[in-house]
Structure 1
Amino acid sequence: MKQKIELNIETRTSGRAGARGLRVRKMVPGVIYGAIENATVAVHVNDIVKYNTRAYENTLLTLKSDDSKLNGKVALLKEVVVHPLTRKPEHVDLFAIDLTKTVRVSVEVRVEGKAIGLAEGGLLNIVARQVEVECLPTAIPEALVVDVTNLNVGDSMHVSDIVVPEGVKMISRPEITIAAVVEQQEEAVAAPAAAAAAPAAAAADGKAPAAKK
């Protein structure tokens, strides 16, 4: 279960003047919606940068605000819009939740173990790194683990193979592949390498490669 963290937010007014003031104070505009009346808010850029990472994914944020309607509410960091060049946060969405009602969230899938098929020349291909589950906010798993140790070449693991904790319902389709051990395509890899080496070999022999017609 994810830890609870306090997040300071401010209510804000729309308009150019308000936006300029937010930038000066390094505040990022945002909205909060969900199990609450929609409101426009602002969050300090440092908090967004810190919590918009995998380490804090699905973390329950207890809001701290001078507005009594927002103070003490619990929310998830739903989305952060960043500038395409500077990568600085430009807008944030917070999703207020009711701790007594289930939510649907994406949870990380962690692959553990060394597949036995690797010793046979196979390659481990990770297909899906997240799945969708439904549960109470306080029961959101930090991650779901799959052990690929017993996978031979040609074997795979699917969503149906994931064991979820009690109180957690899997929403992703059971047939979705999580990981597979596949054969290495040696010939396909060798062909481009051989083609790239041909001009160099011809130059070493003093012969120029034939022109394409």
Structure 2
Amino acid sequence: MNRMRDEYNRRNNTTMFYTISIILGTVVFTYGSVPLYKMICQTTGWGGQPVRAHGADSATDLDLASRLVPVTDAKRIRVTFSASVSDVLPWKFTPQQREVRVLPGETALAFYTATNNSPHDIIGVATYSVTPAQVAPYFSKIQCFCFEEQRLNAGETVDMPVFFYLDPDLLTDLNMKGVETVTLSYTFFKAKYDDNGIMKGIPSA
């Protein structure tokens, strides 16, 4: 009888341990999901996310500079821009230009405009993607407002720059054959925080 009771207690303790571990793991993942999601997507291009510019965070910019040489004998690629906001965010968010045409290795600067139409100050966070998906590993941003908190005062309008280039390596990728148009899409969400002021996970509508 004692052996059965000990076994029963051991199983209960084990179950409780796993349950607590899962709960704690979920909480940690939720709080860390934004920077984790940002890091994975920018490094790998996963999910159509543009990658961080090669060499942008290194001690020297030699690698980056070597890639920022326009391939003049290549065909220009048409880059179009798209913008949207979640249903709960009372902002107007639009690209200032419909498209640009760039050579691989050529830098380009584009702008988006956001206006807070509400009578209250609001903090928003933007996510982004590139289509078609196979372009994502070659779409490198040098400067971008994505994943950063953007606070707009009531009625305020701001311009947000995107400085990017298409990595010349795309010219040797067979999956890029026939790709002539790329679309960069941004969606703004209302930032949500917990009681400690920490952003709660990846923003959602």
TM-score normalized by the length of structure 1:
0.22
Greater percentage in helix: 2
Greater percentage in strand: 1
Larger RCO (CA under 8 A, 6+ residues apart): 2
Indicate the structure (1 or 2) with the bigger Cα radius of gyration: 1
